[in-house]
Structure formats: C-alpha cells, structure tokens
C-alpha cells in the first residue's frame, strides 16, 4: 500500500468512535430503588475511595446519575449528615425492618436545600 494511502487509512480508523463497555448495574440497584420507593432503611457495606469498607445505616432518598456514576442520596446515620454513596461501591445492601415513612420527603428536601447552599457558596 502506498505511504500516503496508508496514512489516510490510519487517520480514518483512528477517528472512529469507540463507546465504553456496556454498563452493567450492580445487583443492589433494584433493591435500593425499591427501598427508596417504599421508604425502607438499609445497612450497606460501603467501600470508600481509599478502599476501606465501612458499615452504614442509611434511609435511601433517591438515586441520581451524576458525573458519570449512579449515586444514592441518603441520610447517613453514622455521620449524622446527608451523603452521596456511589452505587458501584456498595458491596452489600441489607434491608432493615420497618420504614422511615413519612420522613423521606422532608429528608430529601433538606438534602436538596443543603446542596443549593453549598453551590451558592
């Protein structure tokens, strides 16, 4: 193949879009989604950014897609604060008995207000 033709072919191929691997939702996603809807608290084993695993008790408020990741918005009882937990870092999720109904709406409203204040600062 002549040199310039080979160069044209190389540049044509190198500009082809290659999507990332297809997303496979973690097994806990369906259970967490149902827990949000039913207002059921969970105990999760969560791996932080440093690889440490901690156990958290959370009432899940919503699942959102942010910065290329699915996260669950929740009230973390261990930290006594609103937190985002990456769903791909939840090692295990176990449903707790009982419901936190009717607390979800007020907790979610407070969480979103805190985010707005943080964005304004």
Q: List, for residues 28-49, the tens digit of each pLDDT value.
A: 888 888 888 888 998 999 999 9
Average pLDDT, integer, range 16-34: 73
pTM of the predicted model as reported, rounded to 2 decimal places: 0.72
Q: Scanning the structure block, which residue is given the tokens 């039913």?
A: 38
Residue 16: per-residue pLDDT: 54
pLDDT at 111: 83
Assess whether pLDDT exceeds 90 at residue 10: no
- Shortest CA distance to 32 belongs to which of 103, 106, 89, 112? 89
Reply yes or no on whether the pLDDT at 23 is more than 90: no
Cβ atoms within 10 Å, residue 45: 14
Q: Are 35 and 60 in contact (CB under 8 A)?
A: yes
Q: Structural domain boundaries of the chain?
A: 27-120
Question: What CATH architecture does domain 27-120 belong to?
Answer: Roll (2.30)
Say if CB 9 and CB 70 are below 8 A apart: no
> Among positive and negative, which fits the CA dihedral 78, 80, 86, 92?
positive
């Amino acid at each position: 193949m002549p040199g310039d033709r080979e160069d044209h072919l190389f540049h044509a191929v190198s500009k082809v879009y290659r999507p990332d691997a297809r997303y496979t939702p973690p097994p806990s996603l369906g259970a967490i989604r149902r827990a949000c809807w039913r207002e059921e608290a969970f105990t999760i084993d969560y791996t932080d950014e440093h690889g440490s695993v901690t156990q958290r008790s959370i009432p899940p408020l919503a699942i959102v897609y942010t910065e290329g990741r699915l996260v669950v918005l929740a009230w973390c009882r261990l930290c006594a604060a609103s937190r985002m937990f990456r769903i791909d870092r939840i090692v295990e999720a176990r449903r707790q008995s009982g419901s936190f109904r009717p607390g979800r709406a007020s907790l979610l409203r407070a969480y979103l207000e805190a985010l707005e204040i943080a964005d304004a600062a």
